[in-house]
Amino acid sequence: MSETEHAKHLSLITVVTTGTPMVIEQIKNQLDRLVPVHRVVDMTLLGGSIERELAMVKIKGSGEHRVEALRLADAFRARVIDATTESFVFEITGKSDKIDQFVELMLPLGLVEVSRTGIAAIARGPEGMSAR
Amino acid sequence: MTEEMSGAEMVIRALADQGVQHLFGYPGGAVLPIYDAIFAQKKVQHILVRHEQGAVHAAEGYARSTGKVGCVLVTSGPGATNAVTGLTDALMDSIPIVCITGQVPTHLIGNDAFQEADTVGITRPCTKHNYLVKRIEDLPGVLHEAFHIAASGRPGPVVVDIPKDIQFAKGIYSKPKTFPHTGYKPRIKGDIEKIKQAIDLMAHAKRPLFYTGGGVINSGNAASDLLRELVKLTGYPITSTLMGLGAFPAADPQWMGMLGMHGTLEANMAMHDCDVMICIGARFDDRITGRVDAFSPGSKKIHVDIDPSSINKNIHVDVPIVGDCANVLEDMVRLWRTGAIHPDKKALGDWWKQVDKWRGRKSLAYRPSNEVIKPQYAIQRLYELTKDRDTYITTEVGQHQMWAAQFYGFQEPNRWMTSGGLGTMGYGLPSSVGVQLAHPKSLVVDIAGEASVLMTMQELSTAVQYRLPIKIFILNNRYMGMVRQWQELLHGGRYSESYSEALPDFVKLAEAYHAYGIRCEKPGDLDHAIREMIDVDKPVLFDCVVDPKENCFPMIPSGRAHNEMILGDAAESLDSAITEEGKMLV
Ligand SMILES: Cc1ncc(C[n+]2csc(CCOP(=O)(O)OP(=O)(O)O)c2C)c(N)n1
Ligand SMILES: [Mg+2]
């Protein structure tokens, strides 16, 4: 999470959680109670929000594994952002399950490690959060 | 109104501009520049406590008895950590406090420097908000915002952590008109549609009940006045939590006494059986609700609270109203007066008959004695001998606290200072120091237990230093009575570590502090001794030796419902009445 509107000193923070409706209500109220928080919006209740994650996936290998990794990356629209003769770092964005799936496929192909952001969400349509 | 000055001078200047007259504090390396600034002025009087926990409790007493913000100054590291209990206490009971803590210089933060503690980290969960000020430009805004946040909305403690280099740094001071946290806007006015719904429910109620709490006191005197007006207009019965005592006069026939774990039978039975519950500024905590799934099963519930996170937290309510009590009560009174309201007289008559039947059980009754002083009797005598005076009561935590709540009749708000949410032993003595400073001419009595009072006894020295004639009225039962009671009822009478062995001689202790000591052991001597306590113009330690085995009843054992209350006479069959599950609860 970083500042998203410098002039207004604002950040948009996405929190992902689970709970009964009463617990969710409580979480929202507790967040709202924090002095620096401007507004809490329930994206799930709102419906139609867009959720994305970014991950960087490092694999190490040679020969067939390397070729296969590149082919899969292509299918997932992952980009190569670093390469050596024995490794790649892929950058991939998408919904969490797509990233999960990609990481799982990379496992037998020499997966070294993954760095991922967690979900960032935004509402569809013309309105910003301050209008909701 | 802009001036150049040091950060330390800004602190004192901002306090003075906020109207602070008394600052409770304790010096140390990381606040020496601020102590220099204190030395150079006369507007803000510094009160030197003997422990930082005492500083916060004193500020709480000051705040609770005046409605103003209480102010504290402590040094870094141990100064700040010693203040944590007080801050947590203030958070739980919604008491407005601004606590200024010194910090090591900014370049040493994170360095394990001498007397460094991560104060904002430690106090984040026990403050309403906190700040670490890293730039002198931010200091004036932060100081004033701290007061705004502490006092507005649901009040609470705010910490401002100021590194020593910022205290030395020069900057421009001004009193800002707007604050950095523009998102902080507590909701004051209640939703009028919801208030109309509430009035409609109330108008058609057959078995209504007001259940009020500390929020009414926090909302100010207007809220108590409006509550009294509304309760009179409706003619409905009213009960209150521990924190709400005094908002409605205990002498009034509509008053049912306190509710909850040690509340009266009539209050708890009425909670259980009512059909419309009007909750104003209370929060359905576990001491009130008992077993949640059996809590007032047949009622529609209205809940007025300034903090949305208090609503629907433990108990589902039908009409939630977010707003300040005084504001919402004003709307309620107006709607009730102007609406065509025809309450069901017959049903209400039956309800009052039922209430009177419950009252007839005299749930607070105890067996009097001519031999030993019964603690209840001691509170009753204290009440009778102080009720016509301008009196403020503070307490420690335990049986004596509950007896004080049951037997001392509070007629006005802000007269009752007790640690409700956190239940902090050691609260009462320092709290009474703060109350007495705010009300120098009034009678201030700390109703204490002999175990609790030893936790912050050193503040007697503060009282002596500032000539504060506080009265510490110790119900000395030689036990951590409340612990002993639970052990008797829930743990087979195994009194593990609850006997107050090796107690000091409180009379000699008083003398050692240059205060005044009184001991009373016989019921017949009590009135005289209490009068002496009142008349002595000095801090008094009153060792009131009471029956060591008395239990506090009624009691709703943990995990039980309101209608499963245990009365004094039924105590013998109690062991079997407590479930295994109930033992697990605190
Ligand atoms: C700081 C703190 N520690 C422990 C407790 C648990 N506790 C609650 S009441 C009590 C006993 C209080 O004894 P005393 O002050 O003598 O009061 P009594 O119940 O005898 O009237 C204890 C230990 C507490 N509330 N606060
Ligand atoms: Mg005791």
Q: Does the beta carbon of B378 lie inside 6 Å of ligand 1?
A: no
| Cα separation, B571 vs B551, whole angstroms | 9
Digit-coded pLDDT (tens) for B462-519: 999 999 999 999 999 999 999 999 999 999 999 999 999 999 999 999 999 999 999 9
Question: Does the distance separating the beta carbons of B312 and A32 come in below 8 Å?
Answer: no
User: Considering the domain boundaries, does residue B461 fall inside one?
Assistant: yes
Which residues in B lie closer than 8 A to residue A39 (C-beta atoms)? 183
| Cα separation, B575 vs B287, whole angstroms | 20
Q: Higher-confidence residue: B524 or A46?
A: B524
Check: CB of residue B286 under 8 Å from CB of residue B314: yes
- CATH architecture, domain A49-121: 2-Layer Sandwich (3.30)
pLDDT-flagged residues of chain A (< 70):
1, 131-132
B396 vs B199, B277, B438, B454, B538, CA distance in Å? 39, 31, 20, 10, 20
- Looking at this protein, which amino acid is placed at residue B98? V
| Cα separation, B74 vs B115, whole angstroms | 12
Q: Does the beta carbon of B79 lie inside 6 Å of ligand 1?
A: no
Ligand 1 centre to CA of B482 (Å) is 6
Ligand 2 centre to CA of B483 (Å) is 9
In a shared domain, residues B155 and B19:
yes
State which ligand 1 atom lies nearest to the alpha carbon of B455.
Answer: 1
Of B128, B183, B311, the CB nearest to A37: B183
In a shared domain, residues B496 and B404:
yes
| Cα separation, B344 vs B342, whole angstroms | 6
Q: Does the beta carbon of B399 lie inside 6 Å of ligand 1?
A: yes
In a shared domain, residues B111 and B250:
no
How would residue B559 be classed by pLDDT, with cut points 50, 70 and 90?
confident
Q: Does the beta carbon of B373 lie inside 6 Å of ligand 1?
A: no
Q: Does the beta carbon of B376 lie inside 6 Å of ligand 1?
A: no
Ligand 2 centre to CA of B409 (Å) is 22
Residue A47: the pLDDT is 82
B281 vs A25, B92, B96, B291, B366, CA distance in Å? 20, 14, 16, 21, 32
In a shared domain, residues B238 and B312:
yes
Beta strands in A1-132 (DSSP E): 3-5, 10-11, 49-60, 79-84, 87-94, 111-116, 120-123
| Cα separation, B536 vs B470, whole angstroms | 10
User: Considering the domain boundaries, does residue B298 fall inside one?
Assistant: yes
B86 vs A37, B157, B500, CA distance in Å? 26, 9, 24
Instruction: Give how many domains chain B has, as a whole number.
Output: 3
Which residues in B lie closer than 8 A to residue A33 (C-beta atoms)? 307-309
Question: Does the distance separating the beta carbons of B309 and A29 come in below 8 Å?
Answer: yes
Q: Does the beta carbon of B483 lie inside 6 Å of ligand 1?
A: yes
Q: How far is B306 from chain A (nearest CA, A)?
A: 11
User: Considering the domain boundaries, does residue B572 fall inside one?
Assistant: no
Q: Does the beta carbon of B423 lie inside 6 Å of ligand 1?
A: yes
| B238-240 and B208-212 beta bridge pairing | parallel
Which residues in B lie closer than 8 A to residue A36 (C-beta atoms)? 181, 183
The CATH number of residue B423's host domain is: 3.40.50.970
The whole-model pTM stands at: 0.95
Catalytic residue (choose from B128, B164, B301, B471): B164
Which residues in A lie closer than 8 A to residue B149 (C-beta atoms)? 35
> Which of B139, B173, B207 represents a domain boundary (last residue)?
B173
User: Considering the domain boundaries, does residue B579 fall inside one?
Assistant: no
Q: Is the pLDDT of residue B575 over 50?
A: no
B575 vs B398, B402, B486, CA distance in Å? 21, 21, 10
What DSSP assignment string belongs to B84-120?
Answer: HHHHHHHHHTT--EEEEEEE--GGGTTTT-TT---HH
How many CB atoms within 10 Å of residue B75? Answer: 25
Query: Residues near B362 by Cβ (< 8 Å), separated by ≥ 6?
Result: none
User: Considering the domain boundaries, does residue B182 fall inside one?
Assistant: no
Active site residue B313: no
The CATH number of residue B297's host domain is: 3.40.50.1220
Mutate to test the interface with A, among B130, B305, B313, B315 (most CBs of A within 10 A): B313
Residue nearest atom 11 of ligand 1, based on CA coordinates: B480
| Cα separation, B310 vs B439, whole angstroms | 32
Q: Is the pLDDT of residue B577 over 50?
A: no
Q: Does the beta carbon of B397 lie inside 6 Å of ligand 1?
A: yes
Residue B570: the pLDDT is 41
User: Considering the domain boundaries, does residue B210 fall inside one?
Assistant: yes
What DSSP assignment string belongs to B498-558?
Answer: -B--S---HHHHHHHTTSEEEEE-SGGGHHHHHHHHHH-SS-EEEEEEB-TT----SB--T
Domain that holds residue B157: 3-173
Residue A2: the pLDDT is 80
> Which of B173, B202, B236 represents a domain boundary (last residue)?
B173
Q: What number is the ipTM of this complex?
A: 0.89
- Asked which of A116-130, B214-228, B346-360, B425-439 is least confident by mean pLDDT, the reply is A116-130
Residue B2: the pLDDT is 79
| A111-116 and A49-60 beta bridge pairing | antiparallel
Chain A positions contacting chain B at CB under 8 Å are: 9, 22, 25-26, 29-30, 32-39
In a shared domain, residues B336 and B398:
no
Mutational test site, ligand 1, from B93, B425, B431, B544, max ligand atoms within 8 Å of CB: B425
Catalytic residue (choose from B114, B387, B511, B549): B114
Question: Does the distance separating the beta carbons of A22 and B309 come in below 8 Å?
Answer: no
Question: Does the distance separating the beta carbons of B313 and A33 come in below 8 Å?
Answer: no
In a shared domain, residues B168 and B243:
no
Question: Does the distance separating the beta carbons of B307 and A37 come in below 8 Å?
Answer: no
Catalytic residue (choose from B9, B10, B18, B52): B52
Ligand 1 centre to CA of B495 (Å) is 14
Give me the mean pLDDT over the B276-298 stretch: 94
Query: Residues near A131 by Cβ (< 8 Å), separated by ≥ 6?
Result: none
Digit-coded pLDDT (tens) for B6-61: 999 999 999 999 999 999 999 999 999 999 999 999 999 999 999 999 999 999 99
My answer on whether omega of the bond before B554 falls inside 30° of 0, hence cis, is yes
Residue B583: the pLDDT is 62
State which ligand 1 atom lies nearest to the alpha carbon of B477.
Answer: 20
In a shared domain, residues B254 and B387:
no
Q: Does the beta carbon of B379 lie inside 6 Å of ligand 1?
A: no
| Cα separation, B401 vs B428, whole angstroms | 10
Active site residue B482: yes
Q: To the nearest whole number, what is the mean pLDDT of chain B?
A: 95
User: Considering the domain boundaries, does residue B532 fall inside one?
Assistant: yes
How would residue B568 be classed by pLDDT, with cut points 50, 70 and 90?
confident
Question: Does the distance separating the beta carbons of B308 and A32 come in below 8 Å?
Answer: yes
Digit-coded pLDDT (tens) for B229-250: 999 999 999 999 999 999 999 9
Active site residue B168: no
- What b-and-e string marks burial along B386-407, b requiring 16 or more CB atoms within 10 Å of the CB? beeeebbbbbbbbbbbbbbbbb
Residue A48: the pLDDT is 78
Contacts across the A-B interface (CB distance below 8 Å)? 30
Residue ranges of domains in chain A? 2-40, 49-121
% of chain B beyond a pLDDT of 70: 97
Q: How far is A14 from chain B (nearest CA, A)?
A: 17
The closest of B27, B30, B62 to B46, measured between CA atoms, is B27
| Cα separation, B19 vs B50, whole angstroms | 25
Active site residue B164: yes
Digit-coded pLDDT (tens) for B170-219: 999 998 887 877 789 999 999 999 999 999 999 999 999 999 999 999 99
How would residue B581 be classed by pLDDT, with cut points 50, 70 and 90?
low
Of B183, B309, B311, the CB nearest to A36: B183
| Cα separation, B300 vs B318, whole angstroms | 6
Q: Is the pLDDT of residue B574 over 50?
A: no
Active site residue B114: yes
